Amino acid sequence: MKVMFLVILSAVMLFATLAVPAQLQPKAYGAGELKPFPQQVSYPGIIKPNHVSQSTMNTAVSTYYDYWKATYLKNNLSSLPGGYYVKGEITGDADGFVPLGTSEGHGYGMVISVLMAGYDANAKTIYDGLFKTARAFKSPNNANLMGWVVADSTGAQGHFDSATDGDLDIAYSLILADRQWGSSGTINYLAEAKKMITNGIKVSNVTTNNRLNLGDWDTKDALNTRPSDWMLSHLRAFYEVTGDSTWLNVINNLYNVYSQFTAAYSASTGLISDFVVANPPKPAPQNYLDEFPETNEYNYNASRVPLRIVMDYALYGDTRGKDIANKMAVWIKGKTGSNPNNVKDGYQLNGADRGTYATAVFVAPFISAATTSSTHQAWVNAGWDWMKNKKESYYSDSFNMLNLLFISGNWWKPTFGAADTQAPSAPTNLTATAASSSQINLSWTASTDNIGVIGYQVFRGGVQVGTPTGTSYSDTGLTALTAYSYTVKAIDAASNLSANSNTATATTSSAPPVSTNLALGKTTVASSIEGAGFEASKATDGSSTTRWASVEGSNNEWIYVDLGAAASINRVKLNWEAAYGKGYKIQVSTDKTTWTDAFVTTTGNGGIDDNTFNAKNGRYVRVLCTARGTTYGYSLFDFEVYGS
């Protein structure tokens, strides 16, 4: 196809045109699009379908958009001439009005229309019409936010309070609109975005504990939150526009909430419930807010989460988003036999089926999550083929459209100001300590950055082996009696890398001798138990499915085993549950009164700790927990003691 080259607006646009190969050049329409579809971005670290060409993907996206627009995009409001809306069903009470759509759908429509500008010659008219409706149907609580129901009645305008998800998408779309068309026209998109972000969302939806509440009807100290509202890349764009570090604080806190939640309720799946409540976070009860029974599971709200999470890695490089998305991708591939047709519309947090059939609002985000690794290439290819022709209903189709835009590289990053080129400072005070014959623990002093450090890269002998977000890392699977050298680099949201830290070296200990578990079946005592079924004896019963658990929230909990006779102890193996000891001591005693330290750590990271040390004599062996790795207590599946 012959492509016309257009001179638009400025020499800057001319340069952009010349910088892109001619066969990939998009058309730009008279609205003066600066980023006309298709943009076909390649995100760092993200794969695309590789069994079809980019131009074929672009055609699939534009074809699906034509269907979506014809089916759901409407401008027939007699009460608001010129106002556009996205037609869709609602859950909840419409207060006697006939509902036509929601602020949620409105947000989808505004993001989609601005990203499709340059393909659709009428995109700016549509977008401005959607904005007109958003402002007419303002919330009575905060006029900078949109009421959650659209109805063809002037009485509905200013009647309904807000829903957080719709406003987040609307505010973000205004940032996109400024990047697409500029803000010198009838609508000052950038000014409107800033007003929504600061006077709307920050005022009404950001809580005092740095979560996002459910709407402007909710309280500022609320702990209830909807993970499908955790649009992390949106919040980073909010930060870029306003310079307000509140948005970085919210991002970091939401990642922490996700980590705490999954450690406690979905360690094997990475799934999260439709609604999250309380601190420490836990699933909301069933029928929360009268939505539907499965609000405590991964259902029709949470199904959107994988896209929202993976985009923070794709656009801003936060490896926490990559790790979460990749975990869900690995799980769903195993669950379905790598066949998208086998995805169900709902799961319990442990991965058990709740739903019965495959629908795009569940399938498409799982495909997006899998773009984090080339090991998922076949799944991404199969998912693309499944998604591109799937047509169902407003909710599923709209979210499918967003995923198609992302996977094809046509959801571009609205960068503001000068690019961040300042690298973080190098990590300092790196230390390496051998923890066993196969594990070395690292710790270092945090780096600083003008925008913010998002994580670290750990190198063993010059080869990257880990990407922690904190200032410690345990390198496992090593060879006994071997010296290993390490360096660490910091990385920021713009993927700037720091210089290397100092080099730290440690030598693993000798392999533990093969011997009998002296603690098996022996009398075991603990400082406390969480409740019936979590007694101390569960840690020495030889089963890795039963466990001892202490009461929650305190340090200096302990568990000891009576070996029945004195022995020379040189190895203790601990199989932690999610509630692990970050700091603990292994101690021995001859009388249960005077204890001698045999091994001490402050950098435990859970899992299996196989600790060897110089032999100590004693009849009693104790694990004294000094620092929690989570907000809960301590819990051991297995407490094994070896020696002679």
Is residue 26 over pLDDT 60?
no
Is residue 9 over pLDDT 70?
no
Read off the pLDDT band of 20 (50, 70, 90): very low
pLDDT digits (tens, 9 = 90+) for 383-435: 999 999 999 999 999 999 999 999 999 999 997 555 667 899 999 999 999 98
Read off the pLDDT band of 317 (50, 70, 90): confident
* Amino acid occupying residue 249: N
Q: Which of 120, 161, 165, 178 is catalytic?
A: 165
Spatial separation of the C-alpha atoms in residues 360 and 379, rounded to whole Å: 15
174 — phi, psi (to 5°)? -65, -35
DSSP string across 572-632 = EEEEE-SS-EEEEEEEEESSSSS-EEEEEES---SSEEEEEEEEEEEEEEEEEEEEESSSS
pLDDT at residue 416, as a whole number: 59
Q: Which two tokens stand for residue 316?
A: 């801003």
Sign of the Cα torsion 204, 209, 213, 217 reads: negative
- The residues pairing with 507 across neighbouring beta strands, listed in sequence order, are 483
Spatial separation of the C-alpha atoms in residues 326 and 88, rounded to whole Å: 31
Classify residue 532 as exposed, middle or buried by CB count within 10 Å of its CB (0-12, 13-18, 19+): exposed
How many angstroms separate the Cα of 618 from the Cα of each of 214, 588, 613, 642?
Answer: 57, 5, 14, 12
Lowest mean pLDDT across 7-11, 36-40, 77-81, 467-471:
7-11
Q: Which two tokens stand for residue 178?
A: 């400024």
Closest C-alpha to 445, from 430, 463, 467: 430
Query: HEC profile for 224-273?
Result: CECHHHCCHHHHHHHHHHHCCCHHHHHHHHHHHHHHHHHHHHCCCCCCCC
Closest C-alpha to 172, from 241, 83, 121, 92: 241
Is residue 513 over pLDDT 80?
no
pLDDT digits (tens, 9 = 90+) for 127-143: 999 999 999 999 999 99
Spatial separation of the C-alpha atoms in residues 517 and 363, rounded to whole Å: 46
Rounded percentage of the chain residues whose pLDDT exceeds 90: 79
Cis omega (within 30 of 0) on the bond before 280? yes
Spatial separation of the C-alpha atoms in residues 390 and 397, rounded to whole Å: 8
614 — phi, psi (to 5°)? -60, 135
Q: Structure pTM?
A: 0.67
User: Residue holding tokens 């080339």?
Assistant: 374
Domains and CATH numbers, the chain: 31-407 (1.50.10.10), 428-507 (2.60.40.10), 524-643 (2.60.120.260)
pLDDT digits (tens, 9 = 90+) for 597-609: 999 998 888 889 9
Read off the pLDDT band of 321 (50, 70, 90): very high
For residues 468-484, give the mean pLDDT.
90
In whole numbers, what is the pLDDT of the chain averaged over residues? 91
Is residue 631 over pLDDT 70?
yes
Cis omega (within 30 of 0) on the bond before 38? yes
pLDDT at residue 644, as a whole number: 77
pLDDT at residue 234, as a whole number: 97
How many angstroms separate the Cα of 101 from the Cα of each of 117, 128, 161, 162, 370?
Answer: 23, 17, 14, 13, 31
Spatial separation of the C-alpha atoms in residues 558 and 624, rounded to whole Å: 4
pLDDT digits (tens, 9 = 90+) for 555-597: 889 999 999 999 889 999 999 998 999 999 999 999 999 999 9
For residues 235-240, give the mean pLDDT.
94
pLDDT at residue 469, as a whole number: 81
DSSP string across 118-158 = TTBTTHHHHHHHHHHHHHHTB-SS-TTSBBSEEESSGGGTT
Cβ proximity of 458 and 466 under 8 Å? yes
Calculate ∠ Cα 477-483-485, nearest 5°. Answer: 90
Read off the pLDDT band of 514 (50, 70, 90): low
Task: Assign 276 to helix, strand or coil.
Answer: strand
pLDDT at residue 641, as a whole number: 95
pLDDT at residue 319, as a whole number: 87
Is 610 designated active site?
Answer: no
pLDDT at residue 257, as a whole number: 96
